[in-house]
Chain A
Amino acid sequence: MPNINLSDKRNRDAVVKAESIGIDEPVRYLGPKGGQTYTRRVLKCTTEHDYETLLEAHGDAESISQALIAGDPEVDLERFGQFLWNTSKVYINPDEELVFRVQQTEVVRDTKGKLITKRNRESEEPNVDSDVPLRWTGKLIPKSQAIRQFVFTAKLQVVHINGLTYDFLYAMAEELANANSLMLLGAGEDGKQPLIFRRGSIPYRAFLEGRIVDKRYVLLLHLSNMELKRRVENRKSNQSPV
Chain B
Amino acid sequence: MARTLSFSLNNTQFDAQIIKVDRTHLYGTVSIQTDDMDGKRCSVATLAVDGKTLIPKGGIALGYINPDGEWVSRDQLKPVDLSGEPVEEVESSFDAPIVLDTKSNVDEYLNHSVRLVYRLKPDNEFPGDLLSELNSGTLYKFGFSYRGGVGYDPAFVMSDEEDNIWMMITRENAVETVGLEQAAVCYGENLDNDSENEDNDDSIDFSML
Contact = CB atoms under 8 A, between A and B. Distances in A.
Contacts of A154: 113, 189, 191-192
A147 B110 contact: yes
Contact of A203 (B25, B158, B175, B195): B195
A68 interface: no
Interface string A66-107: 000000000000010000111111111110101101111111
Contacts of A215: 179-180
Interface stretch (B36-44, B95-103, B140-148): B36-44
A91 B195 contact: no
Interface residues of B, number: 104
B55 to A, nearest CB: 6
Nearest to A169: B178
Nearest to A203: B209
A202 B23 CA distance: 12
Interface in A191-211: 192, 194, 197-198, 200-205, 209, 211
A35 to B, nearest CB: 5
A216 B179 contact: yes
A24 B188 contact: yes
A228 B173 contact: no
A43 B60 contact: yes
B129 interface: no
Interface in B47-80: 47-49, 53-56, 58-68, 70, 72, 76-80
B1 interface: no
Interface in B160-192: 160-162, 164, 166, 168, 171-180, 183-192
Contacts of B92: none
A124 B164 contact: no
Given A20-B189, A45-B58, A149 B28 contact: no
B29 A91 contact: no
A152 B34 contact: no
Contacts of A41: 60-62
A183 interface: no
Contact of B178 (A1, A152, A190, A217): A217
Interface of B: 19, 21-37, 40-49, 53-56, 58-68, 70, 72, 76-82, 87, 106-107, 109-110, 113-115, 117, 119, 137, 150-151, 158-162, 164, 166, 168, 171-180, 183-196, 199, 202, 204, 206-209
Given A37-B66, A79-B53, A242-B27, 16 more contacts: A19-B187, A31-B76, A36-B67, A91-B44, A101-B36, A102-B37, A106-B31, A108-B29, A152-B114, A153-B115, A154-B191, A159-B184, A194-B209, A226-B22, A228-B117, A240-B31
